[in-house]
Structure 1
Amino acid sequence: MTYRILADITVLVHFLWIVFLIAGAYWGRKYRAVRNVHLAGMGFALVSQVFGWYCPLTHLEVWLRAHQDQAAAYAGSFIVYYTEKLIYISVSPAMIFVVTLVLIGINIFVYARTLRQAEGH
């Protein structure tokens, strides 16, 4: 059961990481440390898309699920079920790549606009 709980926590953290990558520029405009983590995360997301890598959180979840005791596993939780549906949607890798590029573009636009406003332009 420990592996199952850890796998469920991993799915939740994965979901929160994805939300952060999508909307992190909101907080990154105000806090340099958040901006640095957000930009590094977007950079890693881009590199992983280009090279066809999976997120390390995906590998961790798969490993945890492979090690869980099937006899002791419970049916699952509502939150994890729907979170997994959001994270592991069935779309082509090309579509994921395009969406990643669009989201990176939007975040770069937000950061560029913030920097221009900070410089007084």
Structure 2
Amino acid sequence: MIYRLVWQATTVAHFLVIAYIALGGFLAWWRPRLVWPHLALCAWGLVQLSGLVECPLTALENWARARAGERGLLPGGFIDTYIEGVVYPEAYVWHVRLAVIAVVLASWAGLAIRIRRRRRRPARTPGTSAAPEPEASR
């Protein structure tokens, strides 16, 4: 029972990580510090696309599935098991990947614009209005 719970929790975590990779840049518009974990996960996603290393979440899920007496994920891991051919047809893999990359880049461009606008705004001190005070006539 516990292994089944571990595998299902890992599946949920996988979906959340993938959603954060795709949309986390927009969360950074709200909280700019969130861009750092987003950048890290995007870099990790690119490493995963290379196929050189196994995702630790995939390894954990396969371990828990084996202990629960279930078969592991397909050789392509989480994406091949739960997303490709399920959420979108396998023939559109590169279309979807390019769309996700475009969404991520758009979120980063929007974040850069928002940060630039914040820096250009004059700083407000508590208790003052944003409008400049009129100059005294001489």
Percent identical pairs in the alignment equals 24
1:89-100 alignment, distance < 5 Å: 89-90=84-85, 91=90, 94-95=94-95, 97-100=97-100
Tell me, in whole angstroms, the C-alpha distance in 2 between the residues paired with 1:33 and 1:85.
32
Determine the structure 2 residue equivalent to 1:67: 67
Task: Decide whether the 8 Å contact of 1:29 with 1:111 is kept in 2.
Answer: yes
Moved over 6 A (4+): none
Q: How many angstroms does 1:60 deviate by?
A: 1.7
Larger of the two Rg values belongs to structure: 2
Task: Decide whether the 8 Å contact of 1:4 with 1:64 is kept in 2.
Answer: yes
Determine the structure 1 residue equivalent to 2:110: 110
Deviations 1:27-73 (A, max 9, x none): 21233432211111112112322x12553222221221122135xxx
The TM-score, its normalising length taken from structure 2, stands at 0.61
- Greater helix fraction, Structure 1 or Structure 2: 1
Task: Decide whether the 8 Å contact of 1:46 with 1:101 is kept in 2.
Answer: no
Determine the structure 2 residue equivalent to 1:36: 36
Give the match's secondary structure for 1:37. Answer: helix
1:70-85 alignment, distance < 5 Å: none
Determine the structure 1 residue equivalent to 2:134: none
Task: Decide whether the 8 Å contact of 1:21 with 1:42 is kept in 2.
Answer: yes
The TM-score, its normalising length taken from structure 1, stands at 0.68
Pair 1:27-2:22 in alignment: no
Measured on the aligned residues, the alpha-carbon RMSD in Å equals: 2.9
Q: Which has the higher contact order (CA 8 A, sep 6+)?
A: 1
Deviations 1:61-119 (A, max 9, x none): 1221122135xxxxxxxxxxxxx999432236544542442233222222222222223
Tell me, in whole angstroms, the C-alpha distance in 1 between the residues paired with 2:55 and 2:99.
16
Structure 2 residues not aligned, in runs of 5+: 71-78, 122-138
Aligned residues: 107
Deviates more, 1:3-12 or 1:107-116: 107-116
Determine the structure 1 residue equivalent to 2:83: 88
